[in-house]
Amino acid sequence: MALGGVNQPDNHATSTYAWQFEYQESISSWLAASLSWLNEGHLPDDSRDGATAQLWVSTPKWHDLAFSFGAGPYLYFDTEARAAGSTYSDAHGVGGIATASVAADLGKSWFMSLNANGIYTPGDVHTYAFLLGVGYRFAPLDRSLSADADSAGAWLSGRQQLQAFGGMKIFNDLNAQQRETFGADYHLALNHVVAWSATWFDDPGSPRSLHDRAASQFWLFHDIDPAHLSLSVGLGGYYQFGTPPVPATTTFERISGLTGIRAEWEWARQFSLIFTWYRKFTTDNTDRDLLTLGVGCRF
């Protein structure tokens, strides 16, 4: 589901845009779980986004409308302006999110949803957002076909994967500067829900001695078989090779954290198109977004 709308701080002094991507999985007829990425736009002193996980309780339909209520943690990344906007800091933390939603069917699989979010983050700005969007319900897989090697359930063609990718990195500063990045990735499925990856990045926009970076992550993934689609969330570490310029103009943090959201679509047996959104998070105000698009081969 994709949503967009308006976001306000709890003092209602100003407003900005907001958008959200969400994946929701039913647990029972009245209970569901979701993962989403929420961008809260640009408030005067805060540019915040992050990942949410929520449990949802839904009511029976009333006049073709479905009401649901969700709550859970919000892992956020906030670029905060300081000293009248001349400097900034990259703040991180965990807050809470609660959502009330009403959805109406648009057809067999499509639906429209109106969501009201309330976000509480101790030590940071509290916000409210109203979002309108559309979603798509994937049809459940017919398990009677699971014995057929050509069925939708047999599309995943190997536990190992090599990927070559390119994209951009976006600095989490007040100017949101952009640079290109390239690299390669090795992905190994450890079981049907957990995978591990090792990734090499080349950043040609960095000083010559700082082009090479490496990352390792563990991923939770879920296959949407009828769509030949796999969605993943990852967490791990990011390592900077090389020696910083002398004299160094900024602080230098060699090891930092890395999260990731990954969507893989297998367009032919063994070959996939992969989009990954990484977030490097640091303690020295050098957070980065890395958006990559690549082609992978499973074996």
164 shares its domain with 110: no
162 shares its domain with 233: yes
* Highest mean pLDDT pick, 33-42, 84-93, 204-213, 221-230: 33-42
293 shares its domain with 163: yes
Number of domains in the chain: 2
166 shares its domain with 287: yes
pLDDT tens-digit map of 229-256: 999 999 999 998 887 766 655 667 889 9
Tokens 């699989």 correspond to 109
Assigned domain for 106 exists:
yes
* Highest mean pLDDT pick, 100-114, 133-147, 148-162, 249-263: 100-114
The two three-digit tokens of residue 176, written as one number: 């949101």
Residue type, 155: W
Beta strand segments in the chain, E: 2-9, 16-26, 31-43, 46-58, 65-82, 87-105, 110-120, 127-136, 160-171, 178-189, 194-202, 212-224, 229-240, 255-268, 271-281, 288-298
**Mean pLDDT computed over every residue of the chain:** 88
- Alpha carbon 212 to chain centroid distance? 24
Whether residue 44 is preceded by a cis peptide bond, meaning omega within 30 degrees of 0, is no
Instruction: Report residue 151's pLDDT band, with 50, 70 and 90 as the boundaries.
Output: very low
Beta strand segments in 194-270, E: 194-202, 212-224, 229-240, 255-268
Listed residues 107, 136, 165: the one ending a domain: 136
DSSP 3-state of 216? strand
Q: Are 236 and 54 in contact (CB under 8 A)?
A: no
How far is it, in rounded angstroms, from Cα 229 to Cα 266? 7
164 shares its domain with 293: yes
Domain containing 74 — which CATH number? 2.40.160.20
Section 209-235 average pLDDT: 89
Stated pTM of the model: 0.86
130 shares its domain with 218: no
163 shares its domain with 291: yes
Select the more confidently predicted residue: 19 or 154. 19
DSSP 3-state of 81? strand
Assigned domain for 146 exists:
no
Assigned domain for 237 exists:
yes
Listed residues 136, 167, 200: the one ending a domain: 136
203 shares its domain with 101: no
Whether residue 247 is preceded by a cis peptide bond, meaning omega within 30 degrees of 0, is yes
Q: Which domain holds residue 216?
A: 157-298
Assigned domain for 142 exists:
no
Section 64-75 average pLDDT: 94
Instruction: Report residue 152's pLDDT band, with 50, 70 and 90 as the boundaries.
Output: very low
Assigned domain for 161 exists:
yes
44 shares its domain with 11: yes
How far is it, in rounded angstroms, from Cα 215 to Cα 258? 8
Q: Are 130 and 3 in contact (CB under 8 A)?
A: no
Looking at residue 27, its pLDDT comes to 92
Looking at residue 45, its pLDDT comes to 86
16 shares its domain with 119: yes
Tokens 């893989």 correspond to 264
Instruction: Report residue 206's pLDDT band, with 50, 70 and 90 as the boundaries.
Output: confident
Assigned domain for 144 exists:
no
232 shares its domain with 197: yes
201 shares its domain with 292: yes
Assigned domain for 143 exists:
no
Helices (H), the chain: none
Looking at residue 121, its pLDDT comes to 94
Residue type, 182: F
Looking at residue 154, its pLDDT comes to 41
Assigned domain for 109 exists:
yes
Q: Are 185 and 162 in contact (CB under 8 A)?
A: yes
Lowest-confidence pick of 19-23, 139-143, 190-194, 260-264: 139-143
Residue type, 252: F
How far is it, in rounded angstroms, from Cα 32 to Cα 35? 11
Looking at residue 146, its pLDDT comes to 43
Listed residues 136, 170, 186: the one ending a domain: 136
